[in-house]
Amino acid sequence: MGNRPQLGRPPARARGLRFIVPVLVLAVLAAAVVSAQWQKAPPDFGGSYGFPTPTHPEPRATWLRAVDVAALAAALGLAVWLVLVRRSRRGVTLLSAFALAYFGFYRQGCICPIGSIQNVTLSLVDPQYAVSLGVLAFFFLPLGAAFFFGRIFCGGVCPLGAIQDLVLLRPVRIPRKLDRVLGWLPYLYLAAAVFFAAFGFQVRTAAGQLATVRRFVICEWDPFVGFFRLAGPFSMFAIGAGFLLLGTLVGRPYCRWLCPYGALLAIPSRVAWRNVSITPDEELDCGLCADACPFGAIRDLRADRAACLACARCYDSCPRQRELARGRSRQRLSVAS
C-alpha cells in the first residue's frame, strides 16, 4: 500500500513544470488583460475627427472558412488516433497547444461549436436567418465524432478546455454528490441559451411598440474569449479570471459545470462505438487511474462515458500500459540490433 502513490507519481522535473507552467500562464494572461484594458480607448486625434464606419463585409473569405473546417476535421481525426490508438498523453497535449493557438488566439474563439448552438437554434425558428455551412460543420462535426469516439473534441481540440488545462496546478477531489449536482448546471444553461436564442424577450421601443430581442448569451458570457481577443468588458475578464483561478485547483470547472456544448456531447458519448478504456487489455483494478484523473471521471474504476473528457492522462498511470510500452520498446530494440 505504501508504494501505491509512487507508481502514479510523475518525476520531480515534471512536477516542477506542472507548477511553473500554470503560474507563468496566469501571469502572462494577467499582464495581457491589463494592457488590453489600457489600450481599449481609441486614440484621440483631437478636433472633430470621427472614426469612419467600415463599409466592407467581414474580410474572412470563404476559402479561409473552409480552412477552419478542414483544421477542425483534421484535429478531430488526430485526436481519435492519439487518444484511442496511440494512447499518448504527450500527443494530446501538443494537439491541445495547437488548438489553443489556432482556434483560440489566432481565430479568437470564433467560429466555435459552443456558440454555434445559438446559430443553429435561431436558424430553426427564424426562416429569415441563414446559418453558414461553416457554422453547421462546427456544430455537427464534434457531435458526430462523439457518436463514434466519445468526447474527443474536449480532450484535444477545444481551446476552452486547453486554456483550463494550462493552469491546472494541483487538482483536488470534489465530493461525488457535489460534482453530480453541479453537473446538472450545463443542461440548465443549455436550456436558457436555446430559449434566449429562439425566443429572446420583449422590449418596448422608443416608438412604444413591442419588439423581440434575441440574445446569444453563451457568447456574451464566454469566460475565455476576452483572453483570446485581448479585448472585452472588465466583467468578462473577471469571470474568466475566476474560472482560471478556480481551475488551478479544480480540473476544468467550466467544462464540468457550465459548458452547454459539453452537455450536448455527453449524450452521444454514452452510446459511443468506442470510448476511452484505461487499461489497454486486461483490467488490473488497482485504482491508480482514479487518482490520476483530475476530472473525477473514473467511476467504479472505469472511465464514465459521459464525464470522460478523453484527455489520456489516466493511461500514464496504468502499470499495465507501462508494461506493454516497455515490452514494445524492447521488441523494437531487439529488431534494430
Q: How far is the CB of 265 from ligand SF4 (least distance, A)?
A: 6
Given the complex with ligand SF4, which of 122 and 288 has the nearer CB atom? 288
Given the complex with ligand SF4, which of 122 and 154 has the nearer CB atom? 154
Q: Is the peptide bond before 174 cis (omega within 30 degrees of 0)?
A: no
Other C-beta atoms lying within 10 Å of the C-beta of residue 105: 15
| Residue 293 touching ligand SF4 (CB under 6 A) | yes
Residues 228-257 that bind ligand SF4 (CB under 6 A): 254-255
Residues 125-154 that bind ligand SF4 (CB under 6 A): 154
* Phi, psi of 45, deg, nearest 5: -90, 0
Residues 254-273 that bind ligand SF4 (CB under 6 A): 254-255, 259, 261-262
Spell out, one character per residue from 90 to 129, where the chain touches ligand SF4: x when CB under 6 A holds, - when not. ------------------------x---------------
Given the complex with ligand SF4, which of 38 and 224 has the nearer CB atom? 224
Contact 241, 33 (CB under 8 A): yes
Q: Please state whether 181 falls in left (phi above 0), alpha (psi between -120 and 50) or beta.
A: alpha
From the list 191, 170, 174, the residue with the least C-alpha distance to 182 is 174
| Residue 288 touching ligand SF4 (CB under 6 A) | no
Q: How far is the CB of 195 from ligand SF4 (least distance, A)?
A: 19
* Residue from 76, 79, 312, 318 in contact with ligand SF4 (CB under 6 A): 312
Contact 104, 163 (CB under 8 A): yes
> What does the DSSP 8-state code read for residue 102?
I
Site size toward ligand SF4 (CB under 6 A) is 24
* Residue from 303, 305, 318, 321 in contact with ligand SF4 (CB under 6 A): 303
Q: How far is the CB of 330 from ligand SF4 (least distance, A)?
A: 26
* Residue from 100, 236, 309, 318 in contact with ligand SF4 (CB under 6 A): 309
| Residue 311 touching ligand SF4 (CB under 6 A) | yes
CA distance 74 to 63: 16
Which runs of E-coded beta strand occur in the chain?
A: 201-204, 210-213, 298-299, 302-303
Return the amino acid letter for 70.
A
Interacting span for ligand SF4 (CB under 6 A) from 69-77, 102-110, 203-211, 297-305: 297-305
CA distance 117 to 107: 18
* Residue from 26, 72, 174, 276 in contact with ligand SF4 (CB under 6 A): 276
Question: Cβ-closest residue to ligand SF4?
Answer: 262
Contacts 24+ apart (CB under 8 A), 137-140: 137/69, 137/72, 137/73, 138/68, 138/69, 138/72, 138/111, 138/112, 138/113, 139/113
Site of interaction with ligand SF4 (CB under 6 A): 114, 154, 158, 160-161, 254-255, 259, 261-262, 276, 292-293, 295, 297-298, 303, 308-314
